Amino acid sequence: MRIFWLELSWAAAAWLVFLIFADERSLPVGLFSCAVYWTCYFLHDLLRQRHPAVFLLHVVSLAAVYAPLYVSISGSEAPQTNDFALLFALFVSSYATWRNTGWTSRGWSIAIGAATVSALVSYSIIGDQLQLLPYLLLFYAAYIAVWIGYRRAQESNREAVARYDALLDEYRKLKREAKNNEEAARAAERTHIARRIHDSVGHKLTSLLMQLETFRLQATDENKQIAEHMKRLAQDSLQETRSAVKALQDEETGGMQALIRLIRNLEAESYMQVEFIVRQGALSVVLDNDQSAALYRSIQEALTNAMRHGSSRKVNILLESPGGSVFRFEVSNEASAGADEPIQEGFGLTAMRDRIESSGGTLEIVRRQGLFVVRGTFKLRH
């Protein structure tokens, strides 16, 4: 934005100085030409993607620059006035050419440059200023050389940015794979520990229960109460061991903490900008294990789709619990496809729907107002 205002100030200052020093005969033409030039200047920004229109506006702006120049020089015999008007035209036309060639393709950039040189040559011939022709051609030869160097540097920079983006994507892919491998290793270690506990501690506790039961049947009345108490302790220990084994064997990720950690990782790795909104006490809602896992996996899949197919890196996540009877989540992002294009559910969306429906919920996938929206609803089980 700062560069835009600086460039605008340069061109405006050049026109202002020209109009201040213009004589009475060239001032009306200069005012009209100034209005035409600024009209083309601001229309350029609206038609950047239409290169023929940019070329046409550039030709009109060149005519607007050289018309008051021709009137000013033809009506004045002072060399200082002639030099000043020529410097004004060179500055404004060079600035306009540089600005417009930066937006267009190589072919249209060459056409715009040729139009500028043609305007200078035409002015020299029509204004009977042939002695200026070598100087003007030399000036624009240097200009074109600088422009070619700039375009090459710009293309090289684009290639460097493309290579950087490719390396960054590969780095992120390797990082995700390393994280998945780490999670798989942790899951395998948990499974191994769970089996060790089940085979050793569980087996010994079961054997201890059998021995306590045998001792209770053979004990005297005085020792039966002690044996019963020891048996209950052993049963509680066995039950807690089984719960611990089940928890270790549970490889499913879920819960609000895991969801927040996922969002934090995405933002930290610059994948996307996430706007996380919580309404109506959604954080205090208690979901069961299946619902919690389905929530996490669904939002994870929706974020993955947003990264792959979204037209921007901004994603909105909404969690709410209206009335405390249902829990609803919504993930929306700007869609690159048209609003009327039908949604084709791939493997990820189909798996997401099956997971949510198996947990007693419903899934809705819509495209509205340029947004791709994934909305899921769970009925709370009190």
Top-confidence residue, 6 or 158: 158
Q: Is pLDDT above 50 for 140?
A: yes
DSSP 379: E
Residue 119 burial (CB < 10 Å; 0-12/13-18/19+)?
A: buried
Q: In the predicted model, what is the mean pLDDT of residues 20-30?
A: 72
Q: Residue 78 has what pLDDT?
A: 44
pLDDT at 81 over 60: no
According to the model, what pLDDT value does residue 114 have?
81
Structural domain boundaries of the chain?
A: 2-128, 180-249, 256-379
Q: Which of 70-79, 108-117, 220-229, 240-249 has the lowest mean pLDDT?
A: 70-79
Question: Hey, what are 54's tokens?
Answer: 């940019």
Helix (H, G, I), strand (E, B) or coil at 127: coil
Residue 252 predicted with pLDDT over 60:
no
Report whether pLDDT(338) > 50.
Answer: yes
Residues near 208 by beta carbon (within 8 Å), at least 6 away in sequence: 234
C-alpha to C-alpha distance for 181 and 369, rounded to whole angstroms:
39
Q: Categorize the per-residue pLDDT at 358 as very low, low, confident or very high, splitting at 50, 70 and 90.
A: confident
Which residue would you say has higher pLDDT here, 74 or 363?
Answer: 363
| pLDDT above 80 for 157 | yes
- What average pLDDT does the chain have? 76
**Which pLDDT band, with edges at 50, 70 and 90, does 183 fall under?**
low
Which of 303, 283, 290 minimizes the C-alpha distance to 253? 290
What value does the mean pLDDT take over residues 177-203?
70
pLDDT of residue 80: 46
d(CA 357, CA 290): 11
Residue 177: both structure tokens together: 């794979």
**pTM listed for this prediction:** 0.40
> 220 pLDDT exceeds 80?
no
Arithmetic mean of pLDDT, 254-275? 72
Out of 4-8, 116-120, 229-233, which region has the weakest mean confidence (pLDDT)?
A: 4-8
What DSSP state is assigned to residue 104?
S
Of 46-50, 242-246, 275-279, where does mean pLDDT reach its minimum? Answer: 242-246
Does the pLDDT value for residue 83 go beyond 80? no
370-to-35, 210, 309, 315, 328 alpha-carbon distances in Å: 38, 67, 13, 13, 22
Question: 128 falls in which pLDDT band (50, 70, 90)?
Answer: low
CATH node for 256-379: 3.30.565.10
Task: Give the angle subtended at the CA of 201 by the CAs of 198 and 206, to the nearest 5°.
Answer: 90
pLDDT of the residue at 166: 84
> pLDDT grade, residue 56 (50/70/90)?
confident
The DSSP output letter for 199 is I
Bridge partners (DSSP) of residue 278 are: 319
Segment 318-336, tens digit of pLDDT: 888 887 788 888 998 887 6
Banded pLDDT at 189 (limits 50, 70, 90): confident
